[in-house]
Each structure stands twice: as structure tokens, then as C-alpha cells.
Amino acid sequence: MNRRIAVAALIIAICGLNGCANKSPAAPMASVVPAASIAKTDAAPAFAPPSEKKIPDGPLGDVIRRGRDIFIDTPARAKAYVGNGLSCSNCHLDAGRLAKSAPLWGAYGMYPQYRKKTGEVNTFGERLQGCFLYSMNGKAPALDSAELVALETYAWWMSQGAPVGVKLAGAGYPKLADPALKIDYSRGQTVYEKNCALCHGSDGQGQQVAGRNVFPPLWGPQSFNWGAGMHQVGNAAGFIKANMPLSRGGTLNDRDAWDVAMFMDAHERPQDPRFTGNVADTRHKFHDTPDSLYGVSINGHLLGEPTAQKSAYR
Amino acid sequence: MISTARVIGMGMVAIVALLVMVQARASDADSIVHQGNGKGAPPCLACHGANGEGQAASGNPRLAGLDAAYLRKQLEDFTNSSRTSPVMQSTASALTADERNALAVYYSKLPIPSSSTVPPTDQDAGGELATRGHWSQQIPGCVQCHGPAGTGVGANFPPLAGQPAIYIEAQLKAWQHGTRHNDPLQLMQHLSASLSEQDIHDVASWFAAQSAVAKGATP
């Protein structure tokens, strides 16, 4: 601890002398570690990704830009691997740069990682494959495919100067405190009508112009599937609290965020690709947590049941 | 017992009456546009152009092809002062609710003028704010709500493409000053507050130079 304080003091001193000029050898560190936060507490260090204008020219820059373009317009640029109308940037805002919306710079340095979901150590590339399979309701591109290489290169570029294996402030989605009151579907519906329907529609199907999403669907056949991270109520509540309504993130209270997340995740969506043929069995294997409503009966409808699935899409 | 034939007959009469009413309303709108309503509402074309195309030089907005529900809401907002403009407040208040509705429908059906005549300026800064936003200030790209190239989305998100730059600037400032506060979820009031004078100028001239006709292009 003392040693850390000393490092922090040193950084302050260097910044004071140099004005944190780029040529200073300590500069990359300084941009990663705000002296104040580390001196006071063990809080996670902050990080700011480089400006997009700094993407280099030349072949490396071309691949970085390609990765960015896939990230913000996935259905058009990685068509073969996408089964819905979503783009990565619908859930990782500002092209994957925004803190508290699971930014790429918060993820890149945390892989390889053991993941409970797969029961294995996964590389960053394998993590991206999962996004295509579940969030995009599509197919996983091969690890050496041009698409995956471009996305990985974009994430690497954005993370330059970030420490490896250190959880940064603003990484992932915020974890809200457990709901103080029982999560309530009909309260969630009221919150939805008031704060979300304007853009995502009362039917949750978003709004499209010329066949493309302007406002993405939150459930139904064109949304993320039952295996995606956003179907877990805790992830959704954290994302919504920090980022929705668009441009008014942080205005909902925790209770509203929990209730509306539950309301959203209590609607039908495409089947989990790991479906074993039986809803109860699939729930038992992959969704055995109160965080998932898969295989739970809501308003007389068993969520995830294939025969009921189609008729429930609305 | 009323006979089936009579019921059908009454139904027919009702339908014909309805058709006549709709007809009357459309021609009402047409005459108000050209001559005013004789009760204080001036002819709209004097300021909004013969085809609802607006007047760039005076900053009068285009109405042609805007969503009917959006136009109706704006006319109502002028009457309840959640949106202020001396000329439009007095105009909208001189119209009946039926007339406002008929005018909204009338303008929504006019064809969108095909192209903008304004030369593009400030492409870089304005275009970046419009398409990518200033997320450090919680400002998404304008097109994320106003649709690809600002051509508008549904009843709640009006088009910005091809609107006069003077008009766009004036609206952003009206939100900053609170003289327009009719926006759902206070979306525009909130994000306008963080825009600088320069941002407003850049983004307004960028949208003014975009074609008002949706291309179905990438956002």
C-alpha cells in the first residue's frame, strides 16, 4: 500500500514537471492511473481510449478501421455470421469505447480467462465468437477469419497503454445492488411505457428505416437469443441503468432499472443454440439461476418453449 | 324490429357523410394554406412556401412530408406555450383543433422536395457530431434518433435533413433557453445544454446540406 502511494506521488510529480507531455516515459502509465484515485483507495484505475483520429494509415490501420466498421454495422459487414438486425455497438456504445457499456478496452486485457459459461479458459477471440452465437443469434466466425481478426485488432488498438490483467474502472456493465423489493413485472411494464416505448415501440420491436434498425428490437425474432448475456436480468439492469433511455443514462432509479429489465427479459426471443430438446433440461444445464427467466412461466407462458415461441412473438 | 336493409342503408348514409367530411377537411386545409381561415390565421404558404418546402433564407421550416402526428403535436404545443414563437403561437391559436388536424394531414401528404440547394460547409466537425456524437457529454450521434442522414423516424423524431440551418440553430437555442420545452423525456433539452455555439453552427449547416429524401443508406 505504501509503495502504491509512493508511485502515485511520483506520477503526480512527473505530471507537475512535464505537464504530462507525451514524450515523458511515465506518460502511458499516467494516462492509465489517475493519481488521486489510487492514492486514496484501491479503486480500479481509469483508462481513456485513444482518439479514433489516431488510427494509423497503412495496412494495420486498414484492419483496425475494418474492425470498427464491423462493430458499428455488423449486419452489413459480417453478414454471414449475423442472424438478427443488431450491431455490436447497440450494446457496447460509442463503437465500444464508452465506459459502463462493457467497452472493448475494459475487456481486451482480461483474456484469456476462465469462464463458467463454457467451463474452459477462453481467449479473447473465443469470447468474440460467443457474441456472434448468442447476442447476434448467428454463427461463430473462425478464429482466423478476416472478421474476427479485424475485431480483435480494433480491440487491441483501443487498449493501447492499458495494463494487462487489471480490472479497469468502467469495464463491463455496472453491477447494481440486489433489488431491495421483489422485482415486479407490471411495474416494469409501466416504466417501459413511460421511458422506453418512444423508441423501442410498445411491442418491443424497435423502429426501422429502409429495413435497418434505428432503434433495435428488445425481444422477438430479430433480437438477441436466450443464450445471450443481455437475457440475464442483472446484466440488463446494469446496462439499462447506465445507458438508457439513450442520452439520459443514470436517470432511472435502481428499482425501475430492475423492474424494466425483468419486463424486457420476460418476453420471448430466439432459442438458446445449446437447446437440448427440452426446456426444463436446458434450464437445468445452462440457466439454473434466478437471473434467468428461461424455462420460467410468465403470465401463463413457458419462456423458451418452442411450440409457444412463434405465436408469442409480437 | 329494424330490418337488415335499413341498417345497411343507415350505414351507407354514415359512410357517405364521413367521406364528405374528410373531403371538406382536405379542402378546408387547402384554402387555409392559400387564404388563411378568415379568423386570424394567415395563409401558411406566405412563410412555408407554395409546396410546404419552407424558406431557407428566413429560416421557416419545411412542412412537406413531415409526419402528421408530429405536425399536429407542434401546432398544439404552440397553443399551450410549451413551444414559443410569436407568429406561430398566434397562428395556431387562431385555428380550431379540427383545422390543425386537417393541416397536419395536408402537409404530411405533400411530396418531400427532392434536393437541398445549400452548399455543404463544415463537413468534418458537424458531420462527426451528427453521425458519431460527443459521448463524453452524453450526446449520441443525432442520426441515432433522427434516422439515417437525419431523414426522420416515425411520429416522434422529425427530419433534420434539408431543414434551413437558421431554423435548426434557432431550435437548439430555444431548448437551451427553455423557450421550447415540448420534447419527450426532455431528450433535446438535455443534450442541447451541452452544445457549444460552434457545435450548433457546425451541426446545423451539416444537416441543412443533406438531401431530405431518405436514401436507405448507411447511417
In a domain, B93, yes or no: yes
> Which cell numbers hold the place of A184?
415486479
- Say if B200 is an interface residue toward chain A (CB within 8 Å): no
The mean per-residue pLDDT over the stretch A107-124 comes to 95
The mean per-residue pLDDT over the stretch A188-192 comes to 98
Is the pLDDT assigned to residue B9 strictly greater than 60?
no
pLDDT of residue B115: 65
A211 CB neighbours in chain B (<8 A) are 216
B207: Cα separation from own chain's centroid: 15
Rg, Å, chain B Cα set: 20
The answer to whether residues B14 and B97 belong to one domain is yes
pLDDT of residue B124: 87
In a domain, B214, yes or no: no
HSE-CB of A231 using CA atoms within 13 angstroms: 31
Q: Domain spans of chain A?
A: 2-26+175-313, 52-158
B218 CB neighbours in chain A (<8 A) are 73, 76
Single residue among B108, B140, B164 that ends a domain in this structure:
B108
When mean pLDDT is compared across A12-21, B80-89, B109-118, the lowest value belongs to A12-21
In a domain, B116, yes or no: no
A192 in Cβ contact with A265 (< 8 Å): no
Question: Which of B191, B214, B219 is opposite residue A247, by nearest beta carbon?
Answer: B191
Q: Three-class SS string for A285-304?
A: HHCCCCCCCCCCEECCEECC
In a domain, B160, yes or no: yes
pLDDT exceeding 90 applies to what percent of chain B? 78
HSE-CB of A158 using CA atoms within 13 angstroms: 26
Is the pLDDT assigned to residue A242 strictly greater than 80?
yes
Q: Are A94 and B132 in contact (CB < 8 Å)?
A: yes
Q: Are B184 and A210 in contact (CB < 8 Å)?
A: no
In a domain, B215, yes or no: no
Question: Which of A199, A210, A215 is opposite residue B214, by nearest beta carbon?
Answer: A210
A68-113 pLDDT, tens digit each: 999 999 999 999 999 999 999 999 999 999 999 999 999 999 999 9
β-strand pairing of A207-209 with A120-122? unpaired
B68-85 pLDDT, tens digit each: 999 999 999 999 999 999
Q: Which 139-158 residues of chain B touch chain A by CB within 8 A? A: 139-140, 144-145, 147-148, 151, 153-154, 156
The answer to whether residues B147 and B79 belong to one domain is no
Residues forming beta bridges with residue A76, ordered by sequence position: none
The answer to whether residues B37 and B71 belong to one domain is yes
Give the global pTM: 0.90
In a domain, B119, yes or no: no
Query: Residue B129 sits in which domain range?
Result: 125-208
Single residue among B108, B138, B162 that ends a domain in this structure:
B108
Q: Which residues contact B144 (CB under 8 A, 6 or more apart)?
A: A214, A246, B133, B219
Is the pLDDT assigned to residue B219 strictly greater than 70?
no
In a domain, B199, yes or no: yes
Architecture of domain A52-158: Orthogonal Bundle (1.10)
- Say if B132 is an interface residue toward chain A (CB within 8 Å): yes
Is the pLDDT assigned to residue B25 strictly greater than 90?
no
The mean per-residue pLDDT over the stretch A244-272 comes to 97
Q: Are B185 and A249 in contact (CB < 8 Å)?
A: no
Q: Which amino acid is at A107?
A: A
For residue A49, the chain B residue with the least C-alpha distance is B136
A248 CB neighbours in chain B (<8 A) are 138, 185-187, 190
pLDDT of residue B215: 56
How many domains is chain B partitioned into structurally?
Answer: 2
Best CATH choice for the domain A2-26+175-313 from the list 3.40.250.10, 1.10.3720.10, 2.120.10.30, 1.10.760.10 = 1.10.760.10
A282, A286, A287, A288 alpha-carbon torsion, rounded to 10°: 100
Single residue among B73, B108, B143 that ends a domain in this structure:
B108
The answer to whether residues B99 and B133 belong to one domain is no
Question: Counting one residue from A and one from B, how many pairs have CB atoms under 8 Å apart?
Answer: 59
Instruction: For the beta carbon of residue A301, count every other beta carbon within 10 angstroms.
Output: 16
Q: Three-class SS string for A231-274?
A: HCHHHHHHHHHHHCCCCCCCCCCHHHHHHHHHHHHCCCCCCCCC
The answer to whether residues B88 and B12 belong to one domain is yes
A141: Cα separation from own chain's centroid: 19
Q: Which residues contact A24 (CB under 8 A, 6 or more apart)?
A: A14, A18, A30
B152-166 pLDDT, tens digit each: 999 999 999 999 999
pLDDT of residue A16: 32
- Which residue in the block uniquely carries the three cell numbers 514537471? A17
pLDDT of residue A43: 82
Question: Which of A97, A198, A209 is opposite residue B156, by nearest beta carbon?
Answer: A198
* Backbone φ and ψ of A231, nearest 5°: -80, -10
pLDDT of residue A31: 44
Q: Is B202 exposed, middle or buried (0-12, 13-18, 19+ CB in 10 A)?
A: buried
Is the pLDDT assigned to residue A206 strictly greater than 80?
yes
ipTM of this complex prediction, to 2 decimal places = 0.86
Domain containing B24 — which CATH number?
A: 1.10.760.10
Min Cα distance A223 → chain B (Å) is 18
Q: Are A95 and B144 in contact (CB < 8 Å)?
A: no
The answer to whether residues B103 and B133 belong to one domain is no
Min Cα distance A112 → chain B (Å) is 29
pLDDT of residue A306: 86
Fold match flag (A2-26+175-313 vs A52-158): yes
The answer to whether residues B85 and B133 belong to one domain is no
pLDDT of residue A223: 97
A95 CB neighbours in chain B (<8 A) are 132
For residue B215, the chain A residue with the least C-alpha distance is A210
Give the pLDDT band of residue A307 (cuts 50, 70, 90). confident
In a domain, B53, yes or no: yes
pLDDT of residue B19: 42
The answer to whether residues B8 and B100 belong to one domain is yes
